[in-house]
């Protein structure tokens, strides 16, 4: 099986700081991959490089067999890389419906009918449990619902790779349980790359875990292997009492 | 924008058009002529609103697009002896080409730099008009001779200097542009434009090439403004450099702000309001601009989103 995403020698420097340092990364189709690491380890920079928000200093990114290193953001989204923001950035003045219609109308470009668009939007809203709030301005939704709206916008793009940047941050425990179910559901049709601090969520969801530290990959493996890894415990999980 | 109540929105717009049609038979001569002028200038405001209201790009140089239409059509008639339809098309063509070039250059900037760059380009156009006075008439401008302002269809001909014909031509153009604007802002493209206004970075992350979308909006906006300029030259017969001056870049901004940015009918309302306030106050005092200024300040204080913008916010959420 060919990998969905690979990076070779990917680096990104801000001034003297090497935020991402020579990273070789491989992601297989259908996986749920968690990326963990302490603050400032380069996780968000890494996925920003993949999604095209930041240009790398050196290295290459290959998506589905094609080199996408030089492609602008929008072109990567059209190839199937969707990114949901760590800091909620829905269109606050637009309705939840319009927020989702924007990505949905892009993937429906072959069908011009209003009905198809409406169906696509409502499907994404229903999967995230927001259907009854479709006509509320996004800015008036609760924080948890705004996070879900972000995911709905990602879903409406029908991505092959969905990057979720700290999706459970600020969610209540009850909301987190629903969220885990939602991600499992999404993973049936898409590969998920998940940046997450909440370790119980990571342990429940991830097929494999990649640990970042100081811009490099420190370790990679199954949740069990990572839990046992001494170096990881040192850098991130803290030593057992 | 929203999918709700398209029927209501279309009914309102057709109602406004019908009202303007009926007014043609009711208004006294002076106001009849004034309203025809206002409708043509409202097209200018609608073109401006397309870019400023919906995409959020504040240009201070839209007089150059109005001027491109005005001089494109006027010069075609006066210097080249073209017929009215050909001259009108020439005006549109000049506007489209100019807005493509300006868009490609000015969209490399954003915010304040965009305002300055558009203003500078507009000054270049204005000064070019003055410099080539041998063809353009310089600061004197040119009169489009009455006999040339006739539309001929086979045996019948329409005299555009006739007040009723002129009014109906202005109304026809206004209605067409109004309905096009309504269709565009309700379309998927309109949704993308608003998204760019609200958060351009996010729009890119949803798979949209925002530069191309903005460029298309500049061209649509510039061409609509040029349409207004071309119609002005052919209907009112005067082509003057003052229409390409800074004042005519500021006026559409004021009209749109007054009527309500990002509302389809706001540009008409704003243009109408400004003209009538000036008309009424100048009857009483020579210091009428002072009163206009006070009226503007009051409006900004109590209707910060413009007349229709505030109406939409408080009462009629479905207003497009």
ipTM of predicted assembly, 2 dp = 0.85
User: What's the mean pLDDT in A162-168?
Assistant: 90
β-strands A191-195, A216-221 pairing: unpaired
β pairing state of A81-84 and B238-239: unpaired
d(CA A148, CA A169): 12
The nearest alpha carbon in chain A to B318 belongs to: A135
DSSP state at residue B264: S
**Of A187, A164, A213, which Cα lies nearest the Cα of A36?**
A213
Cβ distance B202 to A91 less than 8 Å, yes or no, reads yes
Candidate from B199, B208, B210 with C-beta closest to A89: B199
Q: How far apart are CA B4 and CA A80, in angstroms?
A: 31
Structure tokens at B169: 């031509």
List of chain A residues whose C-beta atoms are within 8 Å of the C-beta of residue B209 = 72, 74-75
| pLDDT value for A11 | 94
Task: Please tell me the distance in Å from B188's CA to the nearest CA on chain A.
Answer: 7
**CA–CA distance, B222 with B91 (Å, rounded to integer):** 11
CA distance B147 to chain A (A): 48
A215 to chain B, closest Cα gap in Å: 24
Chain A CB contacts of B206 under 8 Å are: 77, 102-103, 106, 153, 157
Dmax (CA) for chain B in angstroms is 58
Q: Whole-angstrom Cα distance, residue A62 to residue A4?
A: 8
Beta strands in A48-160 (DSSP E): 58-63, 66-67, 81-84
**Contact present, B211 and B57 (Cβ < 8 Å):** no
Cβ–Cβ under 8 Å, residues B40 and B47: no
The residue written with tokens 């001089």 in the block is: B71
Q: In this complex, do B202 and A105 lie within 8 Å of one another by their Cβ atoms?
A: no
Residue with structure tokens 């097929």? A207
Which of the four pLDDT bands, split at 50, 70 and 90, describes residue A239? low
Contacting A with CB below 8 Å, chain B residues are 1-4, 188, 191-192, 194-195, 198-199, 201-210
- What percent of chain A shows pLDDT beyond 70? 95
Please list every residue in chain B whose beta carbon sits closer than 8 Å to the beta carbon of residue A97: 2-3
| Among the listed residues B172, B171, B186, the one whose alpha carbon sits nearest the alpha carbon of residue B263 | B186
Arch. (CATH architecture) of A5-80+159-237: 3-Layer(aba) Sandwich (3.40)
Determine contact, residues A165/A83, Cβ cutoff 8 Å: yes
Q: Do B202 and A72 touch (CB under 8 A)?
A: no
- Counting DSSP H helices and E strands in chain B, the numbers are 14, 4
pLDDT band at A175 (very low <50, low <70, confident <90, very high): confident
B112 to A135, B52, B100, B119, B246: CA distances (angstroms): 34, 13, 20, 11, 16
Percentage of chain A beyond pLDDT 90 is 56
User: Mean pLDDT in runs of 10 for chain B (320 residues)?
Assistant: 68 95 94 95 97 96 97 95 94 98 96 96 97 92 88 82 93 97 92 95 93 97 98 95 94 93 94 89 84 83 88 83
- Looking at the partner chain, which of B2, B202, B206 has a beta carbon nearest the beta carbon of A106? B206
**pLDDT at residue A234, rounded to an integer:** 74
Which pLDDT score, from 0 to 100, does residue A109 have? 59
Chain A CB contacts of B199 under 8 Å are: 89, 91
Amino acid A241: pLDDT: 47
Domain ranges of chain B: 6-245
In whole angstroms, give the CA distance from residue A40 to residue A22: 16
DSSP element (H, E) containing A106: helix A96-107
Among the listed residues B167, B168, B171, B150, the one whose alpha carbon sits nearest the alpha carbon of residue B159: B150
- The residue of chain A nearest to residue B313, with distances taken between CA atoms, is A93
CB atoms within 10 A of CB B258: 27
- Closest by CA to B79, choosing from B27, B151, B134, B34, is B134
pLDDT attached to residue B5: 67
Q: With 80 as the cut, is the pLDDT of residue A113 above it? A: no
- Cβ burial, residue A240 (10 Å; 0-12/13-18/19+): exposed
Length of chain B: 320
Question: Residues of A at the B interface (Cβ-Cβ below 8 Å)?
Answer: 51, 53, 72-75, 77-78, 83, 85, 89, 91-95, 97-98, 101-103, 105-106, 114, 117-118, 135, 153, 157
- Quote the pTM value: 0.89
CA distance B261 to B199: 17
More confident residue, B283 or A240: B283
Placement of tokens 């309109």 in the chain: B190
Nearest chain A Cα distance for residue B108, angstroms: 16
* Model confidence pLDDT, tens digit, residues A61-87: 999 999 999 999 999 999 999 998 877
User: Residue A236 has what pLDDT?
Assistant: 65
Q: What's the mean pLDDT when you consider all of chain A?
A: 88
* Interface contact flag, B207 A74, Cβ < 8 Å: yes
Query: Which CA distances in Å does B90 have to A88, A114, B69?
Result: 48, 37, 8
């Amino acid at each position: 099986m060919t990998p969905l995403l690979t990076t070779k020698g990917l680096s990104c420097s801000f001034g003297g700081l090497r935020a991402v340092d020579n990273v070789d990364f491989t992601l297989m189709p259908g996986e749920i991959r968690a990326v963990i690491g302490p603050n400032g380890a380069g996780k968000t920079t890494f996925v920003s490089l993949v999604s095209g928000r930041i240009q790398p200093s050196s290295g290459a990114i290959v998506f589905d067999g094609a080199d996408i290193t030089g492609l602008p953001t929008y072109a990567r989204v059209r190839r199937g890389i969707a990114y949901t923001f760590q800091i909620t950035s829905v269109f606050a003045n637009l309705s939840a419906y319009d927020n989702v219609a924007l990505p949905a109308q892009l993937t429906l470009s072959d069908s011009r009918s209003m009905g198809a668009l409406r169906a696509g939007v409502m499907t994404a809203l229903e999967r995230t449990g927001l259907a009854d709030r479709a006509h509320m301005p996004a800015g008036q939704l609760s924080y948890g619902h705004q996070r879900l709206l972000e995911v709905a916008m990602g879903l409406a793009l029908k991505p092959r790779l969905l990057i979720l940047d700290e999706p459970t941050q600020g969610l209540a425990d009850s909301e987190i349980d629903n969220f885990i179910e939602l991600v499992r559901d999404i993973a049936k049709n898409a590969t998920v790359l998940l940046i997450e601090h909440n370790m119980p969520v990571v342990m429940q969801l991830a097929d494999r875990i990649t640990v970042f530290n100081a811009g490099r990959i420190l370790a990679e493996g199954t949740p069990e292997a990572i839990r046992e890894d001494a170096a990881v415990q040192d850098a991130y999980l803290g030593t057992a009492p | 924008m929203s999918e709700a109540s398209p029927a209501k929105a279309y009914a309102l717009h057709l109602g406004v058009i019908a009202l303007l049609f009926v007014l043609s038979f009711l208004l006294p001569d002076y106001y009849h002529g004034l309203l025809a002028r206002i409708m043509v200038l409202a097209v200018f405001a609608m073109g401006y609103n397309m870019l400023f209201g919906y995409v959020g790009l504040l240009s201070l140089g839209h007089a150059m697009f109005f001027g491109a239409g005005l001089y494109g059509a006027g010069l075609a008639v006066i210097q080249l002896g073209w017929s009215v339809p050909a001259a009108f098309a020439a005006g549109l063509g000049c506007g489209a080409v100019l807005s493509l070039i300006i868009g490609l250059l000015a969209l490399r900037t954003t915010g304040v730099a965009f305002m300055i760059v558009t203003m500078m380009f507009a000054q270049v156009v204005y000064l070019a008009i003055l410099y080539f006075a041998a063809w353009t008439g310089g600061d004197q401008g040119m009169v489009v001779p009455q006999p040339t302002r006739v539309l001929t269809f086979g045996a019948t001909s329409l005299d555009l200097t006739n007040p009723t014909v002129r009014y109906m031509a202005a109304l026809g153009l206004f209605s067409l542009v109004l309905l096009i604007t309504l269709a565009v802002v309700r379309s998927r493209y309109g949704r993308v434009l608003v998204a760019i206004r609200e958060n351009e970075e996010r729009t890119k992350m949803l798979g949209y090439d925002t530069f191309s979308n903005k460029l298309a909006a500049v061209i649509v906006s510039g061409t609509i403004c040029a349409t207004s300029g071309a119609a002005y030259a052919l209907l009112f017969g005067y082509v003057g450099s003052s229409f390409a001056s800074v004042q005519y870049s500021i006026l559409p901004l004021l009209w749109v702000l007054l009527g309500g940015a990002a509302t389809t009918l706001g540009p008409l309302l704003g243009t109408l309001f400004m003209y009538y306030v000036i008309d009424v106050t100048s009857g009483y005092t020579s210091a009428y601009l002072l009163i206009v200024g006070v009226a503007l300040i009051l409006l900004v204080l109590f209707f910060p989103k413009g007349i229709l913008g505030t109406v939409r916010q408080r009462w009629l959420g479905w207003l497009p």
